[in-house]
Amino acid sequence: MVKHIVTFKLTGTPEERRQVAERFRDALLALPEQIEPLKSIEVGINENPAETWDVVLTAVVPTMADVAVYANHPAHVAAAGLLAGHKENRACVDYEF
């Protein structure tokens, strides 16, 4: 199995960042029903005002090849599009467990 962990730093006011993060979270949480190899996804919105990263997601897929299937699926591409114009930075780690 592979864990795909991604963090996002968004732009805008705290309120704007929160609204974008919530829409993004809701879209991501719907993906396991739409993307066959996606076994689970967890999405967290940062609650700590002392930190600057806004959103983290942890997705689980069977293989590294399935990370690409997930990333290129139209439903995921649409969810990622919700960050257009709001994404300042992104960091990702994929590892087998």
Q: What is the mean pLDDT of residues 58-64?
A: 98
Chain segment 4-50, per-residue pLDDT in tens: 999 999 999 999 999 999 999 999 999 999 999 999 999 999 999 99
**For residue 78, what pLDDT band results from cuts at 50, 70 and 90?**
very high
The two structure tokens encoding residue 79 = 């969810």
Helix, strand, coil shares, percent, the chain, to 5:
35, 35, 30
Residues 6+ apart with CB under 8 A from 34: 73, 75
Strand arrangement, sheet containing 2-10: 40-45, 55-61, 2-10, 87-96
